Structure 1
Amino acid sequence: MEKKQQFKSVRAFIGTKNQFRNFYRDFGFYEVVLSEDMSLFKVENHLGFYLQKAFVKDWVDNSMLF
């Protein structure tokens, strides 16, 4: 029998030209500043995403959170 993996979290990286930190805080996300160019936004320990100041048009245009 195969052992099932127990996950702690799944987090996406979202790129942006400008970090719209206030936008995500207004939605109720808690911000953890990791560096000048990257923050972790979370609602719970296992639910969150990274917002980073890294703009690659094809990547950003094809990224979304649902």
Structure 2
Amino acid sequence: MIHPAKSIRTFIGTKNYEESIRFYEVLGFEVRSVGEKMSVVVVKENLSFYLQDAYLKSWCENSMIFLEIECDLESYWEAIKVLGLPDKFPGTKLSTIQHNDWGNEFFLHDPAGVLWHFGNFK
């Protein structure tokens, strides 16, 4: 069966909703409120996710999102690094680029502990 899908969106939680909104805005994503306790975060057209004012430590710290990057990963990592997210948002962490057999990636933890994988495939 072929599904007539238009997009797919995950839901992620926040420890501090307002801080997470600022984090994703500084990261360069567009945050649009869709209710008192929920926003849609737009990475680019047809790439988005829901940010909720809800926190469960085990859920947030076990959530992972892989964002495949079209451009040079080293340049993208440099652009993320200069934002100084770990200095501006306690609990955030940015790794160095890891080189794997399948491709390359780096990791960024958001303020609630959600683990982002930014990478590209060979």
TM-score (norm 2): 0.48
Q: Which residue of 2 aligns with 1:43?
A: 43
Aligned-pair RMSD on alpha carbons? 1.4
Query: Is there any run of 5+ residues in structure 1 with no aligned partner, and where?
Result: none
Q: Which residue of 1 aligns with 2:25?
A: 25
Q: 1:13 aligns with which of 11, 14, 21?
A: 11
* Deviation sequence 1:6-61 (CA, Å, 0-9, x none): 32111110101212111101122111101221110012331111111111122111
Which structure would you say has the larger Rg?
2
After superposing on structure 2, the runs of 4+ consecutive aligned residues of structure 1 that deviate more than 2 Å are none
Report which of the two has the higher share of helix: 2
Percent identity over the alignment?
45
Report which of the two has the higher share of strand: 1
> What code does the residue aligned with 1:18 have?
N
> What code does the residue aligned with 2:45 have?
N
- How many residues are treated as equivalent by the alignment? 64
Moved more, 47-56 or 35-44: 35-44
Query: Is there any run of 5+ residues in structure 2 with no aligned partner, and where?
Result: 67-122
